[in-house]
Amino acid sequence: MKGVNLTLANVNGNIHTGGIAGYNDSSINNCTVSGDVTGVSNVGLIAGYNYGSVSSVVADGNTTGVNNVGGLLGTNHYWSTIRGILKSGSVVGTGSNVNRCIGDIDYSDNVGMAALNNITVNGSTIICLSGEVQVPCTNPASKNGLDITTSDLLSEITYTDRGFNFSDEALDYIWSIDGGAAKFREGSL
């Protein structure tokens, strides 16, 4: 799946519930999703369960579920890729593995996410600690992603650090900052 711009999504499901795919075992790239996704287990704005590759995605909205609930993905399976940005919304879950970007990660070293620092999980903003001191979340491979600000959302480097294409017209899609938001268009192949 590529080149999808889904707005005002209102998706309700049970297991493996996502805005673009419930269960992804292939590729999702160069997509945006805004809206609300509600399910029970494996719930995310992009995909409920990722067993493939998810890259150059931007999501904003709310996810609600029980277990394995995240703003981008509910679950990222062993060695699967996720590179994206969560730019607004909230995450609510009543069970286990409820996190800002990905509910649960089996294991993966190809993870690079960022999320606006005021996105809430179960009504609270995410905090990272160094000993007893609160510090910015600086690990883009964590379930909560790297903290970013609204100013960062207007900077190309926020996106290019996660693999978004802002310069190569020969590729399928090229991104730009337009009207205060990241948008994509087809490249000039």
Domain coordinates in residue numbering, the chain: 5-186
**Band of pLDDT at residue 131, cut at 50, 70 and 90:** low
Provide, rounded to the nearest whole percent, the portion of the chain with pLDDT above 70: 94
Over range 109-125, report the average pLDDT.
88
Residue pLDDT, tens place only, 83-93: 999 999 999 99
User: Which residues in 66-161 belong to E strands, given as ranges?
Assistant: 67-69, 73-76, 81-93, 102-105, 111-116, 120-121, 124-125, 128-130, 133-135, 146-148
The pLDDT score that the predictor gives to residue 17 is 98
Residue pLDDT, tens place only, 32-83: 999 999 999 999 999 999 999 999 999 999 999 999 999 999 999 988 889 9
Higher-confidence position of 166 and 131: 166
